[in-house]
């Protein structure tokens, strides 16, 4: 039996990696992947806690998160494709039209 | 037949009101020709006149001294204040209404000729009819409040008609001046009305003006009420110190000057004082005030009239002076004499104004009497009518003006008020001056030296639609006095006889003993001698070469300047009242409003704008900066939620 604290630790590490990925990387694909990483860190935590506390609600939420994440990836990738078509680059810092 | 006119007083103001509605709103613009609008207007006033005649005949035949008011509907019912819409047709209002509708009818007919070339006769006759309706409401009202409605209504119409030629800057200013000066008087009337309600608990005439109610009121309160009512009267009737608007009101069309600013509206103040005779008789100090203001106004206005060069301004000051006589009569308790003078004055002054209008019409709008003259040959009918009216106002026996003025002088002389002789002396000086300025006006306008006669040769007589009303008014100016107020024997004084039931009031200054026939004849002889000498003197002098007139003016020097500048009263008011008021308005407009109130509004907008300017720099369009901000926010939120566990 793996103790709960290990799951929490792994989830924290994954989430931190995700945050750093979003803040530090300029490539849009990588940012999208880092966001996925953060979502899955959350999922992992939810599943672990669900087993610990025998909660069916938490498991249901995990399923919802998976579905929403899939949709989010689809929209995100579509945005990235359009962005590449317009700008010819995937660098997030190049996309800066929406300022004062 | 149980149809009683007495129940249908409302018909009198109804017809002109209907006429105003028709001319103003109902008739389509395209069909408002002079013929249509003047027929409607004249017809409505004629109907009103007929109703008044029938009502008066019935009133006389019923022989009721004080008929009860007729209540039509509940008007104001608020707590203790109960004012029904009620009209009262007693001898006083009957006399006034007959005068207003009769003279009004003649002036309406005259207007048809006078306004023939005006582009907007529809508006003119609408205002004129509205004025008639309001004036009749004022006279027929049975409560101070309803009277005030008419009072304000005639003020409004006066303003509209003075400024009728609204493209003229001076006409607009004159209208505004009349309105604003009248506001001062109206404020007095309003305050008097409030005090009346506080003191008597009612605004209806029969409840306020009863001797029983007056006996219970405190003398201080009575003085305040009567003095404030008189303030209202001085505003409407152009007495000192509120007389300044009337000469300027001559900017309006001449029929308006004749109807509103000579015959009817300006006598509303006299009517109010006479209507409240019961109050004034009970309060001696206020009566004395009325008498003194009256006689001083009469004297000063006649002095100013001596030096005016505008034909209508001379007549305006003459009106102020004659109104002063009426107030003098009221002040010594000679209320019937005051009303008699109101009526005869309406005849001869309307005739004078219409004559002046006819002269202006014939000379292409000339109003400067120095540039007129010699009209006697080319405008014979106008000249005769004007001459008769001049004789009448100057007080030549046995014309109307002589009869009523003599009655006032007589009452002043025998009044028990201590300085009655002083009042009488001032009044007789005024009578002399009246004859002088009227015949100066007559000589300069219709006669004059050879040069003037040549100028007059180009004039033309006015159409008969104008001269016939003129003739009729001249006829009234001859017989009006003797017919209404035959001085001897006492029983044949028609107005006294008609108003006897109404006049059961305690006289304060008025003496019961009139001093017998000998005194009356002596006084009449003095008045007549004064009038004739003034008239002959002025006519002979001003008929001659104008050089002599100019020489006299130079000799008089400052005295002449003082009079021709109207005693500098307008200038004084400009400095003391108008200047500070305009200054204060400027201060409010330029400083308080633009800097203060606008400053707050603009300042609030500027703060929001500047804040937006600064804050929008945060919108960098760097997605990763946004993400960092989100992270910081999320961490802060978590720390906040978990503060209990951490610390």
- ipTM comes to 0.84
Contact indicator for B286, B306 with CB cutoff of 8 Å: no
B616 interfaces chain A, CB cutoff of 8 Å: yes
B263-290: average pLDDT: 88
B45-56: average pLDDT: 92
Phi then psi for residue A51, to 5 deg, are -70, -40
pLDDT in tens, B519-545: 888 888 888 898 899 988 888 888 877
In a domain, B608, yes or no: yes
Whole-number percent of chain B with pLDDT over 90: 31
Task: Please check whether residues B411 and B495 belong to one and the same domain.
Answer: yes
Partners of A38 on chain B (C-beta within 8 Å) are none
Quick one: which of B205, B213, B212 has its CA closest to B71?
B205
pLDDT of residue B633: 94
pLDDT in tens, B323-360: 999 999 988 888 888 889 999 999 999 999 999 988 88
B617 interfaces chain A, CB cutoff of 8 Å: yes
pLDDT of residue B503: 60
Of the residues B564, B580, B597, the one at which a domain ends: B564
Looking at the partner chain, which of A19, A95, A100 has a beta carbon nearest the beta carbon of B623? A95
Residue B48 — very low, low, confident or very high, per pLDDT cuts 50/70/90? very high
Alpha carbon of B170: minimum distance to chain A alpha carbons (Å) = 58
Alpha carbon of A93: minimum distance to chain B alpha carbons (Å) = 6
Task: Please check whether residues B537 and B642 belong to one and the same domain.
Answer: no
Number of domains in chain B: 2
Task: Assess whether pLDDT exceeds 60 at residue B511.
Answer: no
B240: phi > 0 → left, psi -120 to 50 → alpha, else beta; which? beta
Task: Please check whether residues B458 and B411 belong to one and the same domain.
Answer: yes
In a domain, B590, yes or no: yes
Task: Please check whether residues B508 and B418 belong to one and the same domain.
Answer: yes
* Neighbour count for residue B514 (Cβ, 10 Å): 14
B301-319: average pLDDT: 90
User: Closest chain B residue to A20 measured between Cα atoms?
Assistant: B628
Residue to mutate among B614, B619, B620, B621, with most A CBs inside 10 A, is B621
Task: Assess whether pLDDT exceeds 50 at residue B508.
Answer: no
B86-90, B563-567, B586-590, range with the lowest pLDDT: B563-567
Phi then psi for residue B221, to 5 deg, are -60, -45
Contact indicator for B350, B106 with CB cutoff of 8 Å: yes
Of the residues B540, B564, B588, the one at which a domain ends: B564
Partners of A45 on chain B (C-beta within 8 Å) are none
User: Closest chain A residue to B634 measured between Cα atoms?
Assistant: A19
pLDDT of residue B490: 64
In a domain, B528, yes or no: yes
Q: Note whether A96 contacts B620, CB cutoff 8 Å.
A: yes
Of the residues B564, B597, B626, the one at which a domain ends: B564
pLDDT of residue B595: 86
In a domain, B208, yes or no: no
Task: Please check whether residues B481 and B524 belong to one and the same domain.
Answer: yes
Report the greatest alpha carbon distance in chain B: 122
Task: Please check whether residues B536 and B584 belong to one and the same domain.
Answer: no
Looking at the partner chain, which of A19, A99, A100 has a beta carbon nearest the beta carbon of B631? A19
Instruction: Encode B541-595 in three state secondary structure.
Output: HHHCCHHHHHHHHHHHCHHHHHHHCHHHHHHHHHHHHHHHHHHHHHHHHHHHHHH
Q: Note whether A99 contacts B631, CB cutoff 8 Å.
A: no
Contact indicator for B127, B157 with CB cutoff of 8 Å: yes
Alpha carbon of B615: minimum distance to chain A alpha carbons (Å) = 10
Average pLDDT, chain B: 86
Instruction: Please provide the DSSP assignment of B94-155 as one string.
Output: HHHHHHHHHHHHHHHHHHHHHTTT-S-HHHHHHHHHHHHHHHHHHHHBSBHHHHHHHHHHHH
Partners of B620 on chain A (C-beta within 8 Å) are 96, 99
Task: Assess whether pLDDT exceeds 80 at residue B488.
Answer: no
> With 0-12 CB in 10 A as exposed, 13-18 as middle and 19+ as buried, what is B507?
middle
Q: Note whether A92 contacts B628, CB cutoff 8 Å.
A: no
Q: How far from each other are the two terminal CA atoms of chain A, in whole angstroms?
A: 55
Q: Which long-range contacts (CB under 8 A, 24 or more apart) does B21-25 make?
A: B23/B122, B23/B125, B23/B126, B23/B129, B24/B122, B24/B123, B24/B126, B24/B130
In a domain, B115, yes or no: no
Partners of B628 on chain A (C-beta within 8 Å) are 23
In a domain, B232, yes or no: no
Task: Please check whether residues B516 and B391 belong to one and the same domain.
Answer: yes
pLDDT of residue B65: 59
Alpha carbon of A31: minimum distance to chain B alpha carbons (Å) = 10
In a domain, B267, yes or no: no
Residue to mutate among B614, B624, B631, with most A CBs inside 10 A, is B624
Alpha carbon of A56: minimum distance to chain B alpha carbons (Å) = 25
Alpha carbon of B617: minimum distance to chain A alpha carbons (Å) = 7
Question: For residues B532 and B397, which has the higher predicted lDDT (pLDDT)?
Answer: B532
pLDDT in tens, A7-63: 999 999 999 999 999 988 888 999 999 999 999 999 999 999 998 898 899 999 999
Task: Please check whether residues B382 and B504 belong to one and the same domain.
Answer: yes
Q: For residue B71, list its beta bridge partners.
A: B86
Partners of B617 on chain A (C-beta within 8 Å) are 100
Residue B512 — very low, low, confident or very high, per pLDDT cuts 50/70/90? low
Task: Please check whether residues B591 and B559 belong to one and the same domain.
Answer: no
A71-75, B227-231, B276-280, range with the lowest pLDDT: B276-280
Residue B505 — very low, low, confident or very high, per pLDDT cuts 50/70/90? very low
User: Closest chain A residue to B620 measured between Cα atoms?
Assistant: A99
Task: Please check whether residues B495 and B577 belong to one and the same domain.
Answer: no
Two tokens, residue B328: 């003098």
Task: Please check whether residues B433 and B529 belong to one and the same domain.
Answer: yes
User: Closest chain B residue to A19 measured between Cα atoms?
Assistant: B631
Contact indicator for B343, B422 with CB cutoff of 8 Å: no
Residue to mutate among B627, B635, B638, with most A CBs inside 10 A, is B627
Partners of B621 on chain A (C-beta within 8 Å) are 95-99
Reported residue count of chain B is 647
Task: Please check whether residues B449 and B574 belong to one and the same domain.
Answer: no
pLDDT of residue B465: 85
Contact indicator for B76, B83 with CB cutoff of 8 Å: yes
A44-53, B412-421, B480-489, B506-515, range with the lowest pLDDT: B506-515
B623 interfaces chain A, CB cutoff of 8 Å: yes
- Crossing angle between the packed helical segments B335-362 and B420-446, to the nearest 10 degrees: 20
Residue ranges making up the domain that contains B555: 366-564
pLDDT of residue B1: 42
Q: Note whether B621 contacts A99, CB cutoff 8 Å.
A: yes
Domain A4-94 bears CATH identifier 2.60.40.420: no
pLDDT in tens, B105-118: 999 999 988 888 88
Task: Assess whether pLDDT exceeds 80 at residue B249.
Answer: yes
């Amino acid at each position: 039996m793996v103790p709960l604290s290990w799951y929490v630790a792994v989830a924290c590490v994954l989430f931190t990696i995700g945050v750093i990925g979003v803040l530090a990387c300029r490539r849009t694909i990588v940012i999208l992947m880092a966001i996925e990483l953060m979502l899955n860190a959350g999922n992992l935590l939810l599943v672990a806690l669900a087993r610990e506390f025998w909660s069916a609600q938490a498991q249901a939420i995990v399923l919802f998160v998976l579905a929403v994440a899939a949709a989010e990836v689809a929209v995100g990738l579509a945005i990235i494709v359009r962005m590449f078509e317009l700008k010819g680059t995937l660098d997030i810092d190049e996309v800066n039209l929406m300022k004062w | 037949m149980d149809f009683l006119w007495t129940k249908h007083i409302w018909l009198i103001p109804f017809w002109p009101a209907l006429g105003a509605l028709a001319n103003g709103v109902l008739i389509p613009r395209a069909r408002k020709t002079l013929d249509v609008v003047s027929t409607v207007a004249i017809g409505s006033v004629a109907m009103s006149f007929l109703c008044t005649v029938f009502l008066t005949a019935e009133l006389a035949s019923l022989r009721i001294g004080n008929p009860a008011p007729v209540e039509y509907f509940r008007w104001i019912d608020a707590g203790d204040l109960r004012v029904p819409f009620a009209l009262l047709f007693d001898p006083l209002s009957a006399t006034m209404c007959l005068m207003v509708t009769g003279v009004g009818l003649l002036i309406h007919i005259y207007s048809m000729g006078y306004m023939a070339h005006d582009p907007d006769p529809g508006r003119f006759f609408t205002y004129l009819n509205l004025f008639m309706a309001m004036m009749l409401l004022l006279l027929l009202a049975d409560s101070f409040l309803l009277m005030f409605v008419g009072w304000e209504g005639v003020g409004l119409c006066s303003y509209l008609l003075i400024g009728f030629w609204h493209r003229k800057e001076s006409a607009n200013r004159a209208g505004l001046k009349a309105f604003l000066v009248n506001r001062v008087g109206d404020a007095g009337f309003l305050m008097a009305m409030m005090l009346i309600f506080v003191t008597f608990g009612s605004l209806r005439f029969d409840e306020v003006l009863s001797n029983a109610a007056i006996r219970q009121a405190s003398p201080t309160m009575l003085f305040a009420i009567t003095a404030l009512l008189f303030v209202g009267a001085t505003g409407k009737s152009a007495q000192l110190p509120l007389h300044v608007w009337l000469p300027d009101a001559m900017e309006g069309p001449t029929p308006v000057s004749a109807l509103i600013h000579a015959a009817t509206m300006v006598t509303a103040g006299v009517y109010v004082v006479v209507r409240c005779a019961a109050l004034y008789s009970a309060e001696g100090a206020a009566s004395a005030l009325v008498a003194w203001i009256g006689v001083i106004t009469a004297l000063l206005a006649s002095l100013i009239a001596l030096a005016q060069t505008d034909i209508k301004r001379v007549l305006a000051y003459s009106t102020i002076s004659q109104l002063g006589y009426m107030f003098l009569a009221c002040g010594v308790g000679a209320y019937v004499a005051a009303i008699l003078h109101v009526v005869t004055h309406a005849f001869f002054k309307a005739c004078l104004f219409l004559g002046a209008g006819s002269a202006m019409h014939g000379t292409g709008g000339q109003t400067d009497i120095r540039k007129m003259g010699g009209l006697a040959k080319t405008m014979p009918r106008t000249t005769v009518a004007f001459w008769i009216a001049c004789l009448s106002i100057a007080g030549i026996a046995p014309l109307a003006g002589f009869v009523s003025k003599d009655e006032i002088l007589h009452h002043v002389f025998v009044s028990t008020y201590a300085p009655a002789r002083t009042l009488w002396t001032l009044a007789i000086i005024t009578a002399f001056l009246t004859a002088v300025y009227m015949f100066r006006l007559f000589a300069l306008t219709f006669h004059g030296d050879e040069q003037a006669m040549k100028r007059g040769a180009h004039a033309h007589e006015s159409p008969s639609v104008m001269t016939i009303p003129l003739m009729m008014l001249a006829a009234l100016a001859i017989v009006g006095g003797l017919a209404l107020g035959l001085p001897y024997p006492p029983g044949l004084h028609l107005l006294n006889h008609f108003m006897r039931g109404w006049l059961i009031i305690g006289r304060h200054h008025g003496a019961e003993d009139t001093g017998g026939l000998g005194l009356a004849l002596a006084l009449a002889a003095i008045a007549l001698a004064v009038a004739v000498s003034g008239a002959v003197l002025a006519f002979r002098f001003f008929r001659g070469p104008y050089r002599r007139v100019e020489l006299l003016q130079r000799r008089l020097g400052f005295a002449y300047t003082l009079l021709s500048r109207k005693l500098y009263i307008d200038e004084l008011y400009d400095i003391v009242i108008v200047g500070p008021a305009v200054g204060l308005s400027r201060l409010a407009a330029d400083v308080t409003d633009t800097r203060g109130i606008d400053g707050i509004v603009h300042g609030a907008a500027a703060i929001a704008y500047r804040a937006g300017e600064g804050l929008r720099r945060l919108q960098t369009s760097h997605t990763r900066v946004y993400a960092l901000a989100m992270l910081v926010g999320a961490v802060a939120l978590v720390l906040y939620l978990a503060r209990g566990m951490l610390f």
